[in-house]
Amino acid sequence: MSKHIETRSKIKDIASISSFQSLLNNSTLSDDDKTLLQLHYLDHKDFRYIGDMLGYSESTIKRRHKKALIKLSKLL
C-alpha cells in the first residue's frame, strides 16, 4: 500500500478534532496545506471546493493533498 494511502486511512481513524489539530500543529505543513486537510477531513469538502476557496486548481489541490499526506506520515 502506498504511503499516502496508508496515512489517509490513519487520519480518517483519528477520533477527535483536537487530536487532528494537534497533528497539524506539530507538522511543518504550510497554512494552506493545513487548511486543505481541515476542509477535507473535518468539513468533508471535495477538492474542487477547496481549490475554489484557496485559489488553486483542483489538480493542484490533489497534488498538494498527496504531498501533505506524505509529510504527515512521518508523524503518525
The DSSP secondary structure of 11-29, one letter per residue, reads: HHT---HHHHHHHHHTS--
Q: What is the CATH number of the domain that holds 36?
A: 1.10.10
Q: Which domain holds residue 26?
A: 3-73
Longest dimension (CA), the chain: 31
pTM, 2 dp: 0.89
CA 45 – CA 5 distance, rounded (Å): 18
Residues in the chain: 76
Sheet strands (E) in the chain: none
- pLDDT grade, residue 1 (50/70/90)? low
Q: So what's the pLDDT on residue 60?
A: 98
pLDDT tens for 10-69 read 888 888 889 999 999 999 999 999 999 999 999 999 999 999 999 999 999 999 999 999
The number of domains in the chain is 1
Give the three-class secondary structure for 31.
helix
pLDDT the model gives residue 26: 92
| CA pair distance 50, 69, nearest whole angstrom | 16
